[in-house]
Structure 1
Amino acid sequence: MTIRRVNAEERLTTSFPLQAYAFETSPRSVARAEEFRGYLPYNEGNRTLVVEENGVTLAAASAIPMRQNLRGEVLPMAGVAGVATHPLARRQGHVRALLHQLLDEMRDEGHQLSALYPFRPSFYARFGYVGLPAPRTVTFSPADLGGLLRVDLPGEVRWERVGEGYQDWRTFTERCLDERHGFAIFPGYRDVGVRDRDEHWLLTARSGGTVTGAVIYRIDDHGGTLAAGDLLAADPVARMLLLQFFARHVDQVERVRVQVPVDEVPELWLTDLAVHVEARVARPASSAPMARLLSIDALDGLAVGPGRVRVELTGDRWLAGSHLLDGTTGALEVVTGAAVTAAQPPAVTLTAAGLSALAYGVLDPVEIGLRGLGEVPAEALPELRTLFPRRNPYLFSDF
């Protein structure tokens, strides 16, 4: 049994068939198999590893070189995807071996973070991943937006096929990456798939010629659903411009469905807006995302509060050792070596998932102990809360 990296052409007969069996209708048609070649350009920069035995592919996993915003700093992130195992080779440790090597290689190349959508969260929790908030799906009737049609809003909207407006879409998501904690985007070779397929409408809000909001959507049928992706808006005016456009579909669709981050409150968008907000998490098809730090260096230089704590990281392949986390200057300094031993601030013991939960802002330090992700004495609680205030990461992922 061997693990090796496959090239683009080899994906057609190794990783793609396993992924199709795991995530699509099965058995696949001959025509579907022939479509695999069309995916190659959008996977060209991925790192794909496979487990093989006697020429048979037993398991596959890929890492996509992405970028993610962690508390204001945009860092290289390995997006793990396409994890699949041959049905006769499951539960034999193949995925564990693949992930170890895959993350080893991505970390060595400088990727300091990693994120994924798990088939089973508890499995990836053993690799140091911690859960992030799932996006909220918001459903409402365009009739309830009718009042917006009488409002004179500053700015304008542009409506076009995404193939035509792709560069505006990409530029605005780059802006969101710089401004939004947790936001992540695909590399260009992967992202252009939405342009090349050209299967969606692109709506953008603009102010003074600058894009301030954007959403990609499709309409399934007359009297049906206007199904949109993430409603991205830099400010309330941009959001209202996008909603005002949806209001014009009152005689075309019954409902509008969009995705929003967890800190949006759609019930307050308008008076008398009847809205259904849902975050559905289920196995195996609708899991919330997960993420982790791959390197302690990801924390160095982050804007933090003036806390100070010693951290012992245990039980992890990629994060281990003693570190002093010092935020007294407002920029986190990670100190190792003799200075850690000499330091006298409160000490905590954390797993990789525990430190990742604090860095991403998804758990309070008290919850770290309650969840079995570390040991945090009472005197360290205020220091950690000052260093890592709660945040709502928004792991954006487009079509």
Structure 2
Amino acid sequence: MAIRRISSEERLTTSFPLQSYAFERSPANAAATQETRQYLPYNEGNVTLVAEESDTVVAAASAIPMRQNIRGTVFPMAGIAGVATHPLARRQGHVRRLLTQLLGEMRDEGHAATALYPFRPSFYERFGYVGFPKPRTVTFSPADLNHFLRLDLPGEVTWQRIKDGYDTYRDFIHRSLAERHGFAAFPDYRAARQRDSDEEWLVMAVVDGETVGAVTYRIEDHAGDLLAGDLLTTGPVGRALLLQFFARHVDQVARVTTTVSANESPELWATDFAAHTEAKISFPGSSAPMARILSMEALHGIAAGPGRVTIEVVDDPFIAGTYLLNGEGGRLEVTAERAATPAATLTAAGISALVYGVLDPVEVALRGFGAVPDAAATALRGIFPPRTPRLFASF
């Protein structure tokens, strides 16, 4: 089996057909094939590898060069997508070899982390990935937002097609990237598909000239559903302005659906607010995101709590080694310690869980992601306080 990086145009005859079979209606008709060609520019900067046997492409995987906030510092991050195998070549180890090479190339090109949406989390856990909380979907009647119509809120909302407000919306995405742990943003060439398709409305909340909230949406039908995307806000006022806008649709739509962070509490938005909030997990179609660290050294300087401990990362081709972690100055110091005796042993999934703040050190051990004695757990808990990452981008 040979693995090679393909050019942009080659995707039409190599990776795209495999992805179409794996993730879309199949077989594709002529119209779908034409749409695939139109999708090509939004993949232009991706790194795509294919595995070939006897001149036949048997597997493909792509990495999208993105950026992600990890505890307040923005890093290059590889979003893994389009992992697909020929139906006659499955369960033969092709994806394992392909993904290992792709992650290695992305690490060597400076990407400190990687994230994906798994078809099966246990498969990617073996590659060092750890799960993120899944964002919540909230469904409610606009009639239950009547309280917001009586509020005299500061600021205003703007309303336009996404194509017209795209640049301002993109600026707000970049601001969120700089401020929110776990947040990830597409590169410009990929994000532009949302602008070019122009299939959504855009509402932005503005106070004193500053954007404090944004959401995209479309309306399915009269007396039907208003389907909104991520409800992105900087605080309660921005959220209230957007909810007030939804309330004005009480005589037009029956339900509003939007997506919020896992640490959001929609039940507290208003009194007598009847909402259905869920995070549905199913495989292979509705999974929570996963992420992992590709470079320990790159983490030097991220925000950290007090603590000092030596750890060993094992069984990983990218970050295996012994490291002294010191957060005493409020910023993480990472020092390679070849001869030191580690106080804890962690897998790549274990250290990734701590860095992203999704598991306590005790949970890391219980999940089989390492051996963490009590003293080391206390130090690691201090260095990496719990956080709720919000990936945002879907790929």
Question: What TM-score, normalized to structure 1?
Answer: 0.97
Deviation of residue 55 (structure 1)?
2.2
Report the counterpart of residue 46 of structure 2 in structure 1.
Answer: 46
What amino acid is the match of 2:242? L
User: Which residue of 359, 380, 384 corresponds with 1:384?
Assistant: 380
Deviation of residue 337 (structure 1)?
3.6
> 2:281 is paired with a residue of what secondary structure?
coil
Please tell me whether residue 60 in structure 1 is matched to residue 56 in structure 2: no
Distance across 1 between alignment mates of 2:242 and 2:22? 37
Report the counterpart of residue 299 of structure 1 in structure 2.
Answer: 299
Deviation of residue 299 (structure 1)?
2.0
What amino acid is the match of 1:153? L
- Of residues 117-126 and 1-10 in structure 1, the stretch that sits farther from structure 2 once superposed is 1-10
Contact 1:212 1:238 in 2 (8 A): yes
> 2:18 is paired with a residue of what secondary structure?
helix
Distance across 2 between alignment mates of 1:280 and 1:298? 34
Number of matched residues?
A: 395
What amino acid is the match of 1:258? T
Deviation of residue 305 (structure 1)?
1.1
Deviation of residue 327 (structure 1)?
1.0
CA displacement, residues 345-376 of structure 1 (integer Å, 9 cap, x when unaligned)? x7100000000000000000001111110000
Distance across 2 between alignment mates of 1:209 and 1:306? 38
Deviation of residue 291 (structure 1)?
0.2
Distance across 1 between alignment mates of 2:305 and 2:152? 42
Contact 2:223 2:253 in 1 (8 A): yes
Report the counterpart of residue 143 of structure 2 in structure 1.
Answer: 143
Contact 2:117 2:289 in 1 (8 A): yes
Deviation of residue 380 (structure 1)?
1.3
Please tell me whether residue 371 in structure 1 is matched to residue 367 in structure 2: yes
CA displacement, residues 62-91 of structure 1 (integer Å, 9 cap, x when unaligned)? 000000000000001000000001100100
Change (3 A) 1:185 1:210: same
Contact 1:229 1:398 in 2 (8 A): no
Report the counterpart of residue 2 of structure 2 in structure 1.
Answer: 2
Distance across 2 between alignment mates of 1:286 and 1:237? 31
Distance across 2 between alignment mates of 1:364 and 1:337? 24
Please tell me whether residue 359 in structure 1 is matched to residue 355 in structure 2: yes
What amino acid is the match of 1:245? F
Q: CA RMSD in A?
A: 1.1
Specify every segment of 5 or more residues in structure 2 that has no aligned partner in the other structure, as ranges: none
CA displacement, residues 283-328 of structure 1 (integer Å, 9 cap, x when unaligned)? 0000100000000023211111110000011000101111100111
Change (3 A) 1:109 1:47: same
- Superposed, which structure 2 residues align to 1:1-399 within 5 Å? 1-337=1-337, 341=340, 347-397=343-393
CA displacement, residues 81-103 of structure 1 (integer Å, 9 cap, x when unaligned)? 00001100100111001101101
User: Percentage identity across aligned positions?
Assistant: 65
Deviation of residue 398 (structure 1)?
5.7
Contact 1:213 1:242 in 2 (8 A): yes
Deviation of residue 335 (structure 1)?
1.1
